[in-house]
Amino acid sequence: MKSVRALCLLLVSAIFAHAENNVPTIAKDFVFTFFNSHNTSPLSDALLLALVSNNNNGTANVVVTSPYRSFTTIRVSVAPYSVIKIPITSESIQAQFPGNITADGHIVVEDKGIRVQSDLPVAVYAHAEAYGGYSTDSFLVLPAIHLGMQYVAVTSTQPEDTIANMIAVVAYQDNTQVTIGTQTVTLNALQVASVASYGNLSGTVISGNKPFGAISGCTCGFGNPHEGCSYEAVMLLPGGRWGTQFAAIPLMYLSTNWYQVVANTENTVVSAGGTTVATLNAGEYREFQIGAALVTSNNPVQLIQIGQVSFK
């Protein structure tokens, strides 16, 4: 059995130490963006989808909007207890599309935010793929009510030399001042600020004066060892909603999985199954591999499960 790591980045299920840190995933209002995926040139068959799940006994009426110049407002109805796939076009709505060719780490501002609103509580996922399912990832879109003002990025620690790590933020309100690392810009609602870099962006602090959404990952992140790469993306939890206990469960057909943990407090000790796997200071991160285990820390951390594919 061979495993290829880094198919996707996933938020692992968390058992938060404090009740106020619970993060329900259903709501009526969401904002997000797609950062440039898969390649450094346009792909005519790249597919972007918003997946909306309605677990109510009534029909959910959903509206998707964006300030992007070629975007047309979408109105759909989602039947009770069903999921609908909403194509998001054009593919140029991706931040820094079509290439991040320079990936020089400078902020780029674009009108590429996406808003999903529903008259009933729903769950939303953002999905991107290329070549009929090759290089695919989906991330959970956090409800707008959970957006925060400080995040810490997680990206591939082993990106390919010619494919960028990325951070993209989307403003929820006008006059939102956002700082990514050492760069600051002011955004209006649904404007996107993104940074692309061939270097590692894990541990980069993202902050603002009003709540906003943040997505980070890599166009084609590598596993360890280098056995393959794929698009990775995750919508980040704000620092105030990080946890101290996590149930780590390997993906199907795997006995172990890789994880990346990020801290924002000095002398943070992270353990898996009672064994210390990392001691971190603020902004530091560590990757480790474990089987099914309870991961705990003495201070709140952000823990990301790095997806893997296994095949014979």
Of 42-46, 190-194, 251-255, 258-262, the one with minimum mean pLDDT is 42-46
How far apart CA 257 and CA 12 sit, in angstroms, is: 11
How far apart CA 46 and CA 213 sit, in angstroms, is: 23
Region 288-300: mean pLDDT is: 93
How far apart CA 42 and CA 98 sit, in angstroms, is: 5
Q: Does the predicted model carry a pTM greater than 0.85?
A: yes
Top pLDDT among 181 and 159 is at 181
pLDDT of residue 219: 79
